[in-house]
Chains A and B, each alone.
Chain A
Amino acid sequence: MTAPGTREAVAAPAPRPATGHRPAGYAVVGTRRVSFLLHRRAAVVAVLLAVLLAAVCLAYLCVGEDFVAPSDVLDVVLGRPSSQELVVGTLRLPRMAVGLLVGAAFGVAGGLIQTVARNPLASPDIIGVTQGAGALTVGAMTLGVTSYAVLPYLSVVGGLLAAGLVYVFAWRGGLHATRFVLIGIGFAVALRSVIQLFLTKGDYLVAQQAQVWMTGSLNGRGWAEAAPLGWALLALLPAVLWAARAQRTVSMDDDTATALGVRLGRTRLGLVALGVVLASMATGAAGPVDFVALLAPQIARRLTRTAQIPLLCSALLGAAIVVGGDLLARKLFAPTELPVGVLTAAVGAPYLIWLIIRGHRTRTRTAGRGRAAGPRSRASRAAGGEA
């Protein structure tokens, strides 16, 4: 290869590494027949996040109206007889379990939907999924359905309906990510007003109960919510494992992904459906805890520096945010208990604004770089022009 002209960054013929090239930063785990790629940094981050989450959980169980010693907490968690059985075992532990599961579900759901939309703004609470879940649930509440055995399922139905409508309206011979997000935001606003309508029309007491639910609260939640959510998440675990792998190819552009043999339409639909179900289930259990699905995947990705959103880290982080947030919401303004959703919204909203400003800046910057501008503006191609 003696091409004329200078070649950037490839100066002298550097000594070639003796080993072959793996995807940088990955370790290969397994044998010849069965092998898995493990992102080293993501694995380390996951362990650290797990430790952090454990610490947050311990603090959650210790701190409250009365402080409970960690040794007593451990006794209760391990099922040993303890004098703190009531405070820790009956009051705090079930509520924490709901927070853990809801946070993890939102974390994964946000990651999946953001991946498919290729847009960090496209989290289920921005594009109308949680609002759809909320509208149907609040609607049912005002019509007299108050059984917590039914409401979570209505949530899932509502979330799926909303996402389906957004999908249908955004479809124009193909799914264009930006259109999907914009139409989703429109639906979110519209559904919010539907919820308001139900709240003002409905019975006062029910409306008040629904209002608390709508801000996203763990207050009064327990095993009744945690158990079905836990079983459902366990059942969906194989799907999440599939999704973690499928994300790798969906994050490429459509043409490249298809050229690599990915059934793009089906894969995307599968990922979105899984994300919507997870987000709706979480909403059904604790209401729309705003911005967790937006924050967790993005922070997790910045920590791991992976090319796609690390789902496990995102789940751990989502759980830590919800449990930690609820701890603060309980403690900060005691004896008044703030809904955790208010706290996550207070943190999440500035982040969202920052994300939009930063996104705008990088877009204007790359637009000047000629080459980079082409690949990023896919609108013309998706609209179907001869390239």
Chain B
Amino acid sequence: MTETGATTAPTTGEPAPSRLTARELTLAYEDRTVVDGLDLDVPQGAVTVVVGPNACGKSTLLRALGRLLRPRNGAVFLDGADLARIPTKQIARSLGLLPQTPVAPEAITVADLVARGRQPHQHWWQQWSAQDERAVTEAMERTDVAELAERAVDELSGGQRQRVWIAMALAQETDLLLLDEPTTYLDIAHQVEVLDLVRQLNHERGRTVVAVLHDLNQAARYADHLVAMRAGRILAEGPPAEVVTAELVHEVFGLEAVVIPDPVTGSPLVVPGRPWAGAGA
């Protein structure tokens, strides 16, 4: 799993039609408009990463894509149908979402929490099937939390807990997976681990992933499709190699920076600083 990154993007031939799209999306909290008239086609089978400065509306956009927030205007479409008109349980069978700060019930065990990811596939008369068992086992092994199965989620470290939550989202077995800042609260090793896992999922299962990340370099390294937002609008989108330039970094973040190739993956690497100031200045 060392050759992660944009270089291994599984994009060949003409792209598959997008299953998740937003049209003229306007999102607001009470009277404050956060996202204004936004259009987005989430590329099928790719990792899309949304970046932007704080309060640019990237998490709000993700919440709307996952029907956690009702659009003030416009709509999000899943397979061409307005998300607001599809029963929420039906959405949950194709679209999984991991919020930024999920809360586990007190004293719940790891295996119990991961098993709740199967909720949209269950009925009151069918609370556990062989399918459920396979999905949960797979999700737990993939995220390396099988050994923690009997432990209480409360007792785990931040990195372990995040892997458990991802396992729950995986157990849902949706083709589309939305992740809201999945690396928050994690140290760099665990950040890389989580992002590698996301890449791997996309690579081996062809899952479509949309993630909000605040680290531009991680975004450039792990995304097939990068969406740069500022003040509720998309300023640029496309492959990181095309999108991430010194001009764009300045435009989006207001930061002077040099963009050089990542020594490991060759993806763009943003180094803050005035280009002419030189090292040590």
Contacts and interface: CB of A to CB of B under 8 A. Distances in A.
A binds B: yes
Interface of A: 1-5, 7-10, 14, 16-17, 20-26, 28, 32-37, 173, 241-242, 245, 248-249, 251-253, 255-256, 258-263, 305, 307-308, 370-372, 374-376, 378, 381, 384-387
A307 B106 contact: yes
Given A21-B111, A24-B110, A37-B127, 7 more contacts: A4-B189, A21-B140, A28-B128, A35-B129, A255-B63, A261-B119, A375-B101
20 contacts: A1-B197, A5-B189, A16-B146, A21-B137, A22-B128, A23-B116, A25-B109, A35-B128, A35-B129, A253-B103, A258-B68, A260-B117, A261-B88, A261-B91, A261-B120, A370-B185, A374-B101, A375-B101, A375-B103, A378-B103
Contacts of A260: 92, 116-117, 119-120, 172
Chain B interface size, as a band, is: 35 or more
Nearest to A373: B101
Contacts of A375: 101-104
A259 B196 contact: no
A252 B129 contact: no
B105 A10 contact: no
Contact of B147 (A9, A36, A255, A376): A9
Contacts of A381: 101
Contacts of A8: 157, 159-160
Given A32-B129, A261-B91, A378-B103, A21 B149 contact: yes
Contact of A386 (B55, B109, B112): B55
Given A25-B109, A255-B68, A5 B116 contact: no
Contacts of B93: 261
Contact of A371 (B2, B125, B146, B185): B185
Name which of A20, A173, A253, A263 has the most chain B CB atoms within 10 A of its CB. Answer: A20
Given A261-B120, A384-B30, A36 B92 contact: no
Contacts of A26: 112, 128
A381 B68 CA distance: 12
B111 A34 contact: no
Contact of A23 (B111, B124, B134, B144): B111
